[in-house]
Structure 1
Amino acid sequence: MRQLIARCFAGTSPAPPERYRIPGVPGDLPPALERLRPARLVPAAVLVPLIERPQGLTVLLTVRAPGLRHHAGQVSFPGGRLDPTDTGPLQAALREAREEVGLSGELVEVAGYLPNYMTITGFSVTPVVGFVAGEFQPHPDTTEVSEAFEVPLEVLLDPGSMQLRHKRFMGVKLPFFEMPWGEHLIWGATAAMLVNFRDILRGYGE
């Protein structure tokens, strides 16, 4: 699996913020969804950490602290908006991972990039896929992260793991994916990025 991922994402680069992929919405955004798009998207980045455990690759996820302004209490990847000092999504994702869970960039081998994802809060998020050395153990900063946990990658890649749902936002029907894992619910932007990851791997292998 590691070799497949490395081959699949080799040579990929981050897309500009205005280019994104929302799974469940084929092609361009329908007009009803397009009018919800903010006039200016805020660039952000997350790290999709694939930890090389003895039993296989796992994906590190976090639970955002309850006091945060955006998406408090939700399951997410380590990440956040780009700071003025960040040279790009990669530096932002590694910086946030270090701040949130104590992950040193020296333990990360970057595989490549997923398509951007646009959130309803106005962020265009660039996911950076990286292999993380197996000796890493997360140490969450409780001001940003209330918990860190891991899910086997093979579970997340199972075609039946993510369920497509719909909800209404400002009168518009929006698609979203969700997957329960123990006491957690993986959904929204995080689930969508995982679906993009799964779809890209599936397409590469066909």
Structure 2
Amino acid sequence: MQALNKLTAQDISRRLQAVNPQRSFDVPSNLISDQFREAAVLVPFVRLRDEWQLLYIRRACSERDRHSGQVAFAGGKRDPHDPNLYSTALREAQEEIGINPQDVSILGHLSAHHSISNFKITPVVAQVPWPYSLQLQHSEVDRAFTIPLTWLADPRNHELHLRELKGTNVPVVYFKEYDGELLWGATARMTLNLLHMLGVDFSTLDQPIAKAA
């Protein structure tokens, strides 16, 4: 797993473009609605203490937000004025955590993921210089934090649980807590997809081990 830290930004970009993933970690196709809305998130790589880390947020608690209080990547739904989904991810990251689009180096994107709230989400992978003076929009974001890529890739730190969704038991990805934060659901699936594209083997994730509460 330490080999992940030896990857350059160019290496990451090439792997995102060259690899045809054997699995996407998306939700089962029978649970994907035809009436989805487009969205995009920014998946930022940052270099910290000679290792790659990913930058996450914890959403602010709000009764209007179905994903209130959850760990996520900065992002949101596509605006009619956004020329493409890359623009959506950059605009939302600027609005939510204050990252200037001019400071972002786009490395590529992952295949789309679907959420239970009927969004088709495109994860836009990028590098952001670090340290960076983030400006959180506190009405939407409670906290921004990083998790080391090698910790995310360690099979001891994630597992599948069964969770009931629309009357069906669906395998849901859960990571162990990191710095008090719990990464699970769609953002966890995007994270696994990214790691898979970088060459991490997730064959141990083939079987759910328990039913989540």
Partner AA of 1:22 in structure 2: F
Secondary structure at 1:6's aligned position in 2?
Answer: helix
Contact 1:50 1:60 in 2 (8 A): yes
Deviations 1:10-62 (A, max 9, x none): 479xxxxxxx933585xxx3xxxx1x332311100000010122432211100
Q: Residue 198 of structure 2: SS of its match in structure 1?
A: helix
Query: How far apart, in 2, do the equivalents of 1:178 and 1:130 lie?
Result: 24
* 2:128 is equivalent to residue 121 of structure 1: no
- Worse-superposed segment, 62-71 or 109-118: 62-71
Report the equivalent of 2:90. Answer: 94
Cross-structure match for 1:7: 14
1:184 to 173, 177, 181: 181
TM-fit CA distance, 1:7? 1.8
TM-score (norm 2): 0.82
User: Please, what TM-score do these two structures have when normalized by structure 1?
Assistant: 0.84
Unaligned runs of 5+ in 2: 1-6, 202-213
Work out whether 1:62 is the aligned partner of 2:62: no
| Change in CA separation of 1:93 and 1:24 when aligned onto 2, cut-off 3 Å | closer
Q: Match for residue 199 of structure 2?
A: 202
Please name the residue that 1:144 is paired with. Answer: 140
Name the aligned partner's letter for residue 104 of structure 2: V
> How far off its partner does 1:176 sit?
1.1
Contact 2:172 2:184 in 1 (8 A): yes
**Structure 1: runs of 5 or more not aligned:** 13-19
Q: Does the residue aligned with 1:141 lie in a helix, a strand or coil?
A: coil
For residues 98-118 of structure 1, what are the alpha-carbon distances to aligned partners after superposition, in whole Å with 9 as ceiling and x for unaligned?
Answer: 011100111111010111101
Residue 176 to residue 156, structure 1, CA distance change in 2 (3 Å): same
Root-mean-square deviation (Å): 2.1
How many residues in Structure 1 have an aligned counterpart in Structure 2?
Answer: 189
Separation in structure 1 between the aligned mates of residue 194 and residue 137 of structure 2, nearest angstrom:
27
Q: 2:32 aligns with which of 19, 32, 37?
A: 37
How much does 1:120 deviate?
A: 1.1
The 4+ residue runs of structure 1 with deviation greater than 4 A are none
Q: Contact (CA 8 Å) 1:107, 1:136: kept in 2 or not?
A: no
Cα distance between partner residues in 2 of 1:61 and 1:139: 14
Letter in 2 for 1:107: D
Deviation string for 1:159-204 (max 9, x for gaps)? 3322111101121011111112121100001100001111111179
1:85 equivalent among 69, 81, 84: 81
Q: Tell whether 2:105 aligns with 1:109.
A: yes
8 Å Cα contact 1:162/1:195 also seen in 2: no
CA contact (8 A) 2:59 2:71 kept: yes
2:4 aligns to what? none
CA distance in 2, matches of 1:119, 1:41: 9
Q: How far 1:155 moved relative to its partner?
A: 1.1
Q: In the alignment, is the contact (CA less than 8 A) between 1:167 and 1:174 conserved in 2?
A: yes
| Percent of matched pairs sharing the same residue | 33
